[in-house]
Structure 1
Amino acid sequence: MNTLKYFSLLTAFVTVTIFAGCGQQSEPAMTPEEFARHVSDVIVNGTEFHFEPAVQEFEQDGVFMVEFPAGEQGVYYARSVITVEGVEDYDFGSQFALTYPAGTIKVQLNGEAIYSESSNSAGHFDNIDYGLFEYEDRFSVDLEDGEHQLSIKFTPRNTDVPNRIYFNVVRSDNGLSHPAVEAQAPSTEEELAGYGYWWVGPVQERVEEMEFMNPLLSPKELVTAEFTSVNGESVRWDLPKKHLVKSLPGWLTYQNWHYSGGTFLDAMNNVSNEFSSLDYSDYINQHMDFLLNNIEDIEAMREDYGLIESPFGHYFRFSLLDDMGMQTVPYVNRLIAQDEVDTDSEEYKLASRVTDYIMNDASRMPDGTFARFTPDTMSVWADDLFMASIVLLKMHELTGEAKYMDEVVDQVIKFDKYLLDEFSNIYWHGYFSENGEHSSTKWGRANGWTMMAKTELLLAMPEDHPQKEEIQEIFTRHSEGLLAVQSEDGRWHQVLDDPSTYLETSATAMFVRAFATGVTEGWLDRATYDEAINKGWASLTRQINEEGDVVGIVRGTPIFFSDEEYANWGTRRSDPRGLGALLYAAISVERYLDGAGE
C-alpha cells in the first residue's frame, strides 16, 4: 500500500477523532490485506472436511417420525406422549399434521379417535421453509396443558420397505411447530426418554385394538404384554431402531452447504485475485469437492433412514433461495475460470438446476417479487434479494444471456418498492402480503444484504444499460439513509434506527463495502462518504478478540415482530454469516484507498 494512501487515511481519522472529541481509537488495527488474511484463516482453520458419528433423533426440525420396519403384512401400533405447557399463552389454535405411506391409519388421542383414513399411495411430505412442512393432512385438535396419550394404528399396503409416518402439532395460523407442544416416549426413564415412541407388530387383525391403544395402559403394563404375530411368533412392545448417521463436526460447520459458505468462498476467491500474497484456491476447491464427492452417499443415507436433518440439508430441501443461490456461486466461478465450459460437468448441471429453479419455480408474489411462506403467506424478505441475485449475475457472466441480469434488475426495483421506508430511506426487514404491512423493524443485516446485491448489480451493468441510472438512484438513496444512522463508533446498530441496540459487525461490513465501492466507482461523493468509510473500517478491524475470533456478528435471524426481539437476539463469535461480508469489505477498502489520491 502506498504512502499517499496511508496519509489520506490517517488525515481522515485525525479529523474524525477531533470532531468526536471522545479520545476513541480511530486508526485501523490492520491493513485490508492483513484483515483479509486473518478472516480467511479463521475460516480455513475452523473447517474440518470429514464426518463424525451421530445417532438419529426422533425429532428432526420439529417433526416426529414413527417407523415400522419392513417385514410381513399385519397391523402395527405405536405409542407416544404429547406434552403441552402454556398453550393458553398463544392466540392461535393447534392442528395435528400427518403424512403416512400407503395403507390404513387410525390416530387416537387420550383414547378418542381423531383421524382415520386409508390411501393407496404415499402421502405428500415436503420441507418448504425453516421449520415449515407440507403434510398430507392437517386438522384441528383441542389441547389443554398436560400429558396426552397418542396411539397410532397402521396397516401398510407395502411391507418391502420401512413405513414411515411423519407427524407434528402445528400452529393453526402458519403451520409452524406449536411452541407449547412436545412429543416424548411413554416412559421418561433416563435411558428410555430419548426414543420418542414404542412400537409393536405385526399382529393379527383380529386382536382387539384396545389392547394396544388403551390410554390407561402404563409403561409397566406395556412392557409385560405379549402378542401373537401374523406368523404365529410372539411380539412385544419395543424401542425404535436408532440409526448411526453421519454428521458434520463443529458448531459453526463452515464445510456445510449453506449460503454463508457460498458467500465466503466467493469472497475468498476475490481476495485471492486482489492480494498477490494470498491464495485460497486450494481451500475453495476442497470445499466444493467435499460436497461433490459425498452428496450421493448422504442422499442414500437420508432415503434409507428417512432423515430430515443431515449434512448438506439445504441442498435437499431445495425450496428457499437460502438453500441454493449463494452456495452455487463458487461452482459458477469455477466454470467462468475455464477456457471452455464443460456442459456435462457436475458444476454446470448444478448451476443450471439452481438458476432454472430461481427463474421459473421460486415462490413469488403475484407481480413476480421473490417471497417466502413464512412468517405469513407470501412475505418479502430483504435477505432474498442477495440470495438470488449473485448467482444470476454470475450466470449472466458465464453465458452472456440477458435474462439473468434482467431478473436481478427487476427484483432490485420491486424490493425497493416493497421495503423502503420513505421517511428514513432505509429498509424494513420484511413485507407481508396478507395484510399489506411491513414488518416491525429495520434490521441491520437485512439492509446489508440488499446493499450487497445492488453493489454487485451496478458493478455488472454496462454503462449504457437503460436502467442503470434507476438502479444507481436506488443505491444512492439507500446509502443516504444508512449514512444518517451510522454510530460515532463507526459501526451500525442491530436495529438501525434504535441506538440503544448493540453495534453489529456484519451489517457494518456490508455498508462499508457498499460505500467504499460506491466512492471508488463514482456512484457516491467521496467528500460525503470518506468519514463514514474510514470510521466504519477502523471499527471493523477492532472486532477481533484475544482468541482471534471475529465478534459482534448476529446469528441467523428470522423476521421478528418487535425491535426488542431483534435487540435480544444474540451474536456468535466468527459466525459464518458475516465472514464473507468482512472479506468483501477488505477488498473494497483496499481499492478505495488506492483511489484516495485521485
Structure 2
Amino acid sequence: MNASKLRRCVTSALVAGLFPAAFNVSAQEAPVAQEKGPAAADAMLHALVVDYPTPYRAMDTAEVKAVLDRVFTYLDRTTPAELVHKADGSPVTDLTRPDPDAVIKPGDFRLTSYEWGVTYIGMLAAGAATGDKRYTDYTIKRHQLLSQLTKTYYPVVQADPKNAHAPIKSFLNPHALDDAGALCHSFMKAKLGGSTVDYSQMIGICGDFVTKKEYRLKDGTLARGGPDGKGGVKMRPLPDTMWLDDMFMGVPTMAYLGAVTGDRKHFDDATKQVLQFSKRMFNPKLGLYMHGYVEGLRDHPEMRWARANGWAVMSMVEILEVLPKNHKQYNAVLEQLRAHIKGLAGYQTRDGFWHQLIDRPDTYQETSATAIYTYAIARAVNRGYVDAQMYGPMANLAWNAVASKVTAVGQIEGICVGTGMAFDPAFYSYRPTSVKAAHGYGPALLAGAEIIEMNKKYKFGLNDSGLMFQGAR
C-alpha cells in the first residue's frame, strides 16, 4: 500500500471513530453484549434480591384496604356513639332532654377531641377511596350524635358556662383551638361532601371561636399565652407564644368557612396565617419549621418536631383544596407547600419513616408524623403540586412504613403521645409512644386513602431494582 492510500485509510478510520453515526445508522442503538460464554460471577450482582425491612414496592388497593380495615374495625369497636348514665352505665334513650347524669359511653378515644376531628376526615377519605360505606357512615353517625347533643345541651351551657353539665362541654364552651378547630373542619368537609346532618349550629359555635375569640398577636397571627380572664396571662408556656400545631388547628377551618359561607375574608385570613407562621417559623435552608416561637425573644427554640411539621404541611394541602385559584395568595401558599415537601424529602429514613426530631437521627422514628407526610405528599402528587416522578416512590415507601406499625387488631404503634412546646431536645426525644395516642389514627386513614388514589392514578414499579414512576394508568 502506497503512502497516499495509507493516509486515506487512517483518516477514514479516525473520522469513523469520531463520528460513527455518519457511517453506521445503527450506532445509536444499545450495543450487543461483547462477551460470549459463561457470565462472570459479578455480572448480575446489582439485581440481587434485597431483604428490605420495610416492603419496597407499591401496594395495590386491596392490600392498602386490608390495613385500613383493621384500623376501622378497632376504632368502630372502641369508640361507641351513644349516651349512657354516668352512675350505672345504662343507656340514655331520650337525647332531646338535658340529663345531668348523661355522658358519652366511654371508649378508647374521645369523640370531640381535635385528634378525632382528624379521624372523622380520615374516615370520609377512606370511604371515598375504597367505596366502602362503613367508613363514611362512621363519621356521619358520630356527627349526627354531636349535632343532637349540641341542640339539647348548648342552651344549658350558654345559661351557665361555668357550672353547666354537658357530655360535650369542651366543644360547646371552647377554651382553645384544640377544642374547636379540627372538629369544625370535619363538619364542613362532610357538609361539602353531601352529608345531610344539620351542621349549622355546630359550625357557628366552632367557627366563631376560631375566627373571633382565639387569642392573636398584634398582626393577627394565632397565638397562645393571652389573657387568662383574671387579670393575668396564660403561660402556654410563655406569653405571646406561637405553636406550629395551630397552623392546622385553626387555619383550614378558616379556609373551609370561606368555601361554606362564600365570604372571601376567611380565605384572606387563612392565607395570612400560613404566610405569617412561615415568616417566623420556617427555615428556608432546611425546608423545615420549628415547633415553637415566642414573640419578642431574640432567639427561638428551633426544635423541629415531626408531628408539628406534619400539622403544617397538612394544613397547606387542606387549604389548597378550597382556596380559589385566583386568590392573590394562592401561589404563595402553593410555593410554601412545595418548599416544605422538598425539605421533608431530605430527611426520610432508609426505612421510610421520619424521626421524632426530624433533623436529629438519634431520636426515634415516629409513626403519626410519617402518616401525615404520606398523606400530604401523596395528595400533592395527586393534585399536581409536585412531580409524581420525584415524590411518588417516597410516598409509597412512607405508607409501607406506616402499614408496618398497624397491628393485627388494628392498633397503631410508635405514636408519640400529646406533646407541649419546650426549649430543649430531651423533652421531645423522650416523649413516650402509645397505641392509645389518638394522634396517629386519622393520619393513617388519610395516608392509606391517598395512597390508594395515587396508585390508581399512576403506576410505580421496579426499574433496575429501584422503585420508579412508570407513567399514568
Q: TM-score interval w.r.t. the shorter chain?
A: 0.7 to 0.9
Instruction: Report the Cα offset of residue 350 of structure 1.
Output: 2.2
Structure number with the higher helix fraction is: 2
Q: Give the counterpart letter for 2:76 in structure 1.
A: V
Q: Percent identity of the aligned residues?
A: 24
Instruction: Report the Cα offset of residue 406 of structure 1.
Output: 1.6
Instruction: Please name the residue that 1:97 is paired with.
Output: none
CA contact (8 A) 1:54 1:247 kept: no
- Where 1:498 maps in the other structure, the secondary structure is coil
Once residues 447 and 407 of structure 2 are traced to their aligned partners in structure 1, the CA distance between those partners, rounded to angstroms, is 19
Structure 2 residue 423 is the aligned partner of structure 1 residue 561: yes
CA contact (8 A) 2:379 2:450 kept: yes
Instruction: Please name the residue that 1:362 is paired with.
Output: 214
Mean CA deviation greater in 329-338 or 448-457: 329-338
Cα pair distance change 1:360/1:301, threshold 3 Å: closer
Cα pair distance change 1:20/1:335, threshold 3 Å: same
Once residues 141 and 288 of structure 2 are traced to their aligned partners in structure 1, the CA distance between those partners, rounded to angstroms, is 39
Instruction: Please name the residue that 1:40 is paired with.
Output: 72
Residues 60-117 of structure 1 show CA distances to partners (whole Å, capped at 9, x for unaligned) of: xxxxxxxxxxxxxxxxxxxxxxxxxxxxxxxxxxxxxxxxxxxxxxxxxxxxxxxxxx
- Aligned with residue 448 of structure 2, among 580, 586, 593: 586
Instruction: Please name the residue that 2:224 is paired with.
Output: 372
Once residues 518 and 335 of structure 1 are traced to their aligned partners in structure 2, the CA distance between those partners, rounded to angstroms, is 23
Instruction: Report the Cα offset of residue 293 of structure 1.
Output: 3.4
Q: Give the counterpart letter for 1:24 in structure 2.
A: P
Instruction: Report the Cα offset of residue 304 of structure 1.
Output: 8.7
Instruction: Please name the residue that 1:280 is paired with.
Output: 135
CA contact (8 A) 2:157 2:165 kept: no
Once residues 46 and 529 of structure 1 are traced to their aligned partners in structure 2, the CA distance between those partners, rounded to angstroms, is 35
Q: Give the counterpart letter for 2:420 in structure 1.
A: P
Instruction: Report the Cα offset of residue 445 of structure 1.
Output: 0.5
Cα pair distance change 1:305/1:438, threshold 3 Å: closer
Structure number with the higher strand fraction is: 1
Once residues 85 and 296 of structure 2 are traced to their aligned partners in structure 1, the CA distance between those partners, rounded to angstroms, is 43
Once residues 381 and 161 of structure 2 are traced to their aligned partners in structure 1, the CA distance between those partners, rounded to angstroms, is 54
CA contact (8 A) 2:123 2:138 kept: no
Instruction: Please name the residue that 1:194 is paired with.
Output: none
Instruction: Please name the residue that 1:469 is paired with.
Output: 331
- Where 1:380 maps in the other structure, the secondary structure is strand
Structure 2 residue 187 is the aligned partner of structure 1 residue 331: yes
1:94-109 matched pairs, under 5 angstroms: none
Instruction: Please name the residue that 2:113 is paired with.
Output: 258
CA contact (8 A) 1:267 1:583 kept: yes
- Where 2:219 maps in the other structure, the secondary structure is coil
Cα pair distance change 1:486/1:20, threshold 3 Å: farther
Once residues 18 and 304 of structure 1 are traced to their aligned partners in structure 2, the CA distance between those partners, rounded to angstroms, is 71
1:192-591 matched pairs, under 5 angstroms: 247-250=103-106, 252-255=108-111, 257-295=112-150, 296=152, 311-336=167-192, 347-373=199-225, 374-591=236-453
Once residues 165 and 322 of structure 2 are traced to their aligned partners in structure 1, the CA distance between those partners, rounded to angstroms, is 37
Instruction: Please name the residue that 1:14 is paired with.
Output: none
Residues 446-481 of structure 1 show CA distances to partners (whole Å, capped at 9, x for unaligned) of: 000010011112232343333222212111111111
Instruction: Report the Cα offset of residue 595 of structure 1.
Output: 2.4
Cα pair distance change 1:273/1:434, threshold 3 Å: same
Instruction: Please name the residue that 2:11 is paired with.
Output: none
**Normalising to structure 1: TM-score of the pair?**
0.59
Residues 139-191 of structure 1 show CA distances to partners (whole Å, capped at 9, x for unaligned) of: xxxxxxxxxxxxxxxxxxxxxxxxxxxxxxxxxxxxxxxxxxxxxxxxxxxxx
Aligned residues: 389
- Aligned with residue 53 of structure 2, among 8, 12, 24: 24
CA contact (8 A) 1:505 1:540 kept: yes
Residues 25-53 of structure 1 show CA distances to partners (whole Å, capped at 9, x for unaligned) of: 42477733333332222221111233463
Residues 274-293 of structure 1 show CA distances to partners (whole Å, capped at 9, x for unaligned) of: 22234334332331233333
Q: Give the counterpart letter for 1:381 in structure 2.
A: W
CA contact (8 A) 2:275 2:333 kept: yes
Q: Give the counterpart letter for 1:50 in structure 2.
A: L
Cα pair distance change 1:520/1:316, threshold 3 Å: closer
Instruction: Report the Cα offset of residue 305 of structure 1.
Output: 12
Mean CA deviation greater in 426-435 or 544-553: 544-553
Cα pair distance change 1:251/1:454, threshold 3 Å: same
Instruction: Report the Cα offset of residue 301 of structure 1.
Output: 9.1
Mean CA deviation greater in 305-314 or 327-336: 305-314
Once residues 342 and 214 of structure 2 are traced to their aligned partners in structure 1, the CA distance between those partners, rounded to angstroms, is 32
CA contact (8 A) 1:315 1:323 kept: yes
Cα pair distance change 1:437/1:383, threshold 3 Å: same
Residues 555-579 of structure 1 show CA distances to partners (whole Å, capped at 9, x for unaligned) of: 1111122111111111120532221
Gaps in structure 1 of 5+ consecutive residues: 1-16, 56-243
Cα pair distance change 1:20/1:418, threshold 3 Å: farther
Q: CA RMSD in A?
A: 3.1
CA contact (8 A) 1:298 1:311 kept: no
CA contact (8 A) 2:154 2:172 kept: no
Once residues 194 and 383 of structure 2 are traced to their aligned partners in structure 1, the CA distance between those partners, rounded to angstroms, is 28
Once residues 496 and 377 of structure 1 are traced to their aligned partners in structure 2, the CA distance between those partners, rounded to angstroms, is 27
Mean CA deviation greater in 17-26 or 259-268: 17-26
**Normalising to structure 2: TM-score of the pair?**
0.74
